[in-house]
Structure 1
Amino acid sequence: MLEFGWINLFGAVIVTVMLIPNIVYALRTKDSVNKCKSRIMNLTEQIGRYGCMTLMWLPLLVWKFGFLNVEEMLVYVVGNLGLTVAYIIIWIPYFKRKTLGKAIALAVIPTCIFLLSGLLLRHWLLVLAALLFGMGHIYITYQNHADLK
């Protein structure tokens, strides 16, 4: 088994790279309002979000943090790099013109990154956090962008 130590630097880099366009967006649009009125979905998203951001690099409640073989590690690395690049690329046109399709893609891709990582690392708490994040984030994103085409 190919194992990480007590921290996954690759996961930490992915989270950091995903945060950069989000921070830029937040600084540019200070008057942005969350149109989602469901407290449950807002809470679900936040629990999932912070859970994923932490569990991507910290193996809490995981006995072995790694891969069964080299192929799994390659799927993890290549899959996460590809999804992260796609995520950054979609931000570029989203900054210029928001559409529902781009917004949903920006909600789905991080969910896929977190799920892929959790499944391949057998980090079941990360899988649970990814499912919570995905349900909440995609729902809220749709609520906030439903009027866009």
Structure 2
Amino acid sequence: MNWFNYYGLIIMAIIMIPNIIYAFLHKNNSAGAFNNKAVIIAEQIGRYGCFVFMIFNIPYTYFGFWFDYALIVYLSVNGALCLVYLMFWTICRNNNGKLKALSLSILPSCIFLFSGIVLANIPLAVFAVVFAVNHILISYKNSLSKVMHSIIAVA
């Protein structure tokens, strides 16, 4: 792989398709209950950094696969993680609980972090950690507020 990672582009497309469909179908339901600006900004920085560095390899920050058969491992593990991610999207599409929130935030975080490590891509690994911590926190906090909102609505 040179400066452009075609596999990373395909992985990003697989991850983004259900998100785009969800955003299209739920246009008015995009605001979350968790409003910590610093965490939200850090998550967005991590997210877009992961998007960029999954696809583009910057010289001297990207060292490529560092062990034998790494490409096979990279494609196999990321393929399995993407498949599980799509399964959770399908299974939890009508659910707003903690399972959906955590699975749909932990799985892409694992994809980004794993890719950064296997590719020895330093910026991707750093942005993946920033994204993972903040995205999982936001997803968890938003799922708690939805559960509390549904409990209040029933009472």
Larger radius of gyration: 2
Instruction: Give 1:63 shift.
Output: 5.1
Amino acid at match of 1:75: V
1:54 aligns to 2:85 (yes or no): no
- Report whether the alignment pairs 1:11 with 2:8: yes
Matches within 5 A, 1:130-149: 130-146=128-144, 147-148=146-147
* Closer/same/farther in 2, CA of residues 45 and 63 from structure 1, 3 Å limit: closer
Q: Deviations over 1:16-48 (max 9, x none)?
A: 110000011111111222111100110011000
1:26 corresponds to which of 23, 48, 68: 23
| Equivalent pair of 2:4/2:55 in contact (CA under 8 Å) | yes
2:93 is aligned with 1:95: yes
**Matched residues in 1 for 2:23 and 2:108: separation?**
17
Contact 2:113/2:129, CA 8 A, preserved across alignment: yes
The two structures, once aligned, show a CA RMSD in angstroms of 1.6
Alpha carbons of structure 1 residues 143 and 26: separation in structure 2 relative to 1, 3 Å: same
Judge conservation of contact 2:5–2:54 (CA < 8 Å) in 1: yes
Normalised by the length of structure 2, the TM-score is 0.88
Query: Alpha-carbon deviations, 1:80-104, whole Å to 9, x = none?
Result: 0000000011000221222211211
Matched-pair contact (CA < 8 Å) for 1:48–1:130: yes
Mind listing any 5+ residue stretches in structure 2 that lack a counterpart? 149-155
Give the corresponding residue for 2:79. 81
Distance 2:51 2:85 in 1: 16
Distance apart, 1:61 and its partner CA: 4.5
Contact 1:94 1:103 (C-alpha < 8 Å) held by counterparts? no
Contact 1:21 1:91 in 2 (8 A): yes
Residues 114 and 127, structure 1, Cα contact 8 Å, conserved in 2? yes
TM-score, normalised by the number of residues in structure 1? 0.91
Seen in structure 2, the aligned counterparts of structure 1 residues 69 and 136 have a Cα distance that, compared at 3 Å, is: same
Q: Secondary structure at the match of 1:95?
A: coil
Contact 1:62–1:123 (Cα < 8 Å) also in 2 = no
Give the count of matched residue pairs.
146
Answer yes or no: is the 8 Å Cα contact 1:18–1:84 preserved in 2: yes
Question: Letter of the aligned partner of 2:147 in structure 1?
Answer: L
Which runs of structure 1 show a deviation greater than 3 angstroms over 4 or more consecutive aligned residues?
61-65
- For the 8 Å contact 1:118–1:127, the answer to whether it is kept is yes
Letter of the aligned partner of 2:12 in structure 1?
V
